[in-house]
Amino acid sequence: MKRWLVTGGVGFIGSHLCRALLERGDAVRILDDFSDAPYPTALKRANQAALSRDFTTVEVVEGCVTNKELATRLTLESDAVIHLAGLAGVRPSFAAPAHYAAVNVEGTANLLDAAQRAGHDLFVFASSSSVYGNATPLPAIEDSPAIVPESPYAASKRSAELIASAMLRRTPRMRCAALRFFTVYGPRQRPEMAITTFLRAVLAGTPITVFGDGSMRRDFTHVEDIVRGILATTERAPEGFRAYNLGSGAPITLTDLVTAMGKAAQAIPAVVHGAVPLGDVDATFADITRAREELGWTPRVRLDAGLATVVAWLRAEG
């Protein structure tokens, strides 16, 4: 049994991961600041309540990853860190670029520094497919330059990777993995994300707003596969810094996504089109060769089955 410190553990991905760790008998301490955006505080409180109800051993500490003293204390009391906390969202990052940099870059540096000083041999953290931008040839591979971010959010995630890579020179035998998530969806997803927003509209019989002409492509990855990928990383990541794509490897256009959602909801979606927001990329498409070969991980959840889990969740919510 390991003692895990999971930052962002009552968020979307974090709550699913913590449940998986607790179900197998590991000890979990969560650090989360319960901020309201982009993942609403009310959903975080609900996730916390569900975890505490089902697992009496889980501990939740309210605080921010930029608090160095707190990060140091909690890291010393754990065996390994899975760092999922951070500010997400391309569009909101243009309104608060300094805040994104502080939380995503400084927060990662704080935790990794604390883990190094505590003698941890494992540090896993959430990066993003956004680091690739529009300049990277697709399908994107981890060794692509990724030097033209399209948003402050993307820049903060790439910066976190770079500072982690540099910091590993101090502890080269530490296992440090940056997981580049590709458009994660599933029950309890952030409410403003496309699949949740679109399916709510389809079930309510209201129009979906599709940005652009519907040809934008996204590599959608179910949260169950992401959790499996994180767990595989904790077990099999090599020494040193290593980035991994966790995606479906099968991008779909927004037009085809709308069609698939209509089938999942057994309804005919009404569609209107809007301008492409600042910072959105034309396509995401993961090359998952490295994760398959080094972590033994491949995605299992097909899009139709994944959409069905979201429909069931939304209907249960009422």
Q: How far apart are CA 305 and CA 181, in angstroms?
A: 19
Residue of 39, 153, 185, 244 marked active site: 153
pLDDT (0 to 100) of residue 38: 86
Q: What is the pLDDT of residues 136-158, one digit of tens each?
A: 999 999 999 999 999 999 999 99
Q: How far apart are CA 26 and CA 184, in angstroms?
A: 24
Residues facing 29 on adjacent strands: 5, 59
Contact (Cβ atoms closer than 8 angstroms) between residue 273 and residue 214: yes
Examine the residue annotation and report whether 153 is marked as an active-site residue of this protein: yes
Residues near 92 by Cβ (< 8 Å), separated by ≥ 6?
Answer: 37, 38, 153
SS3 label, residue 230: helix
**DSSP letters along 167-211, please?**
HTTTSTTSEEEEEEE-SEESTT--TTSHHHHHHHHHHHT--EEEE
Whole-model pTM: value is 0.97
Q: How far apart are CA 145 and CA 131, in angstroms?
A: 9
Give me the domain span that covers residue 109: 3-182+222-247+286-300
Contact (Cβ atoms closer than 8 angstroms) between residue 88 and residue 39: yes
Q: Domain for residue 205, yes or no?
A: no
Q: Which run of H or E residues covers position 253?
A: strand 252-253
Residues near 44 by Cβ (< 8 Å), separated by ≥ 6?
Answer: 10, 11, 32, 34
Q: What is the pLDDT of residues 30-53, one digit of tens each?
A: 999 999 988 999 999 999 999 999
Phi-psi region of 252 (alpha: psi -120 to 50; beta: other; left: phi over 0): beta
Average pLDDT over residues 177-203: 96
DSSP state of 3: E
Domain count, the chain: 1
Q: Domain for residue 308, yes or no?
A: no
Q: Domain for residue 213, yes or no?
A: no
Q: How many of the other CB atoms lie within 10 Å of CB of 92?
A: 18
Q: What is the pLDDT of residues 210-263, one digit of tens each?
A: 999 999 999 999 999 999 999 999 999 999 999 999 999 999 999 999 999 999
**Pairing, β 217-218 against β 252-253:** antiparallel
Q: Domain for residue 317, yes or no?
A: no
pLDDT (0 to 100) of residue 210: 94
Cβ-count burial of 61 within 10 angstroms (0-12 exposed, 13-18 middle, 19+ buried)?
Answer: middle
Proportion of the chain above pLDDT 90, given as a percent: 98
Amino acid at 93: S
pLDDT (0 to 100) of residue 301: 98
Q: Domain for residue 153, yes or no?
A: yes
- 79: domain CATH number? 3.40.50.720
Proportion of the chain above pLDDT 70, given as a percent: 100
pLDDT (0 to 100) of residue 81: 98
Q: Domain for residue 95, yes or no?
A: yes
pLDDT (0 to 100) of residue 316: 94
**Axis-axis angle for helices 194-204, 254-265 (nearest 10):** 50
Q: How confident is residue 317, by pLDDT bands cut at 50, 70 and 90?
A: confident
Lowest mean pLDDT across 1-5, 64-68, 229-233: 1-5
Q: Residue 318: pLDDT above 80? A: no
Average pLDDT over residues 312-317: 94
Q: Domain for residue 128, yes or no?
A: yes
Q: What is the mean pLDDT of the chain?
A: 96
Q: Domain for residue 193, yes or no?
A: no
Contact (Cβ atoms closer than 8 angstroms) between residue 246 and residue 225: yes
SS3 label, residue 109: helix
Q: What is the pLDDT of residues 270-286, one digit of tens each?
A: 999 999 999 999 999 99
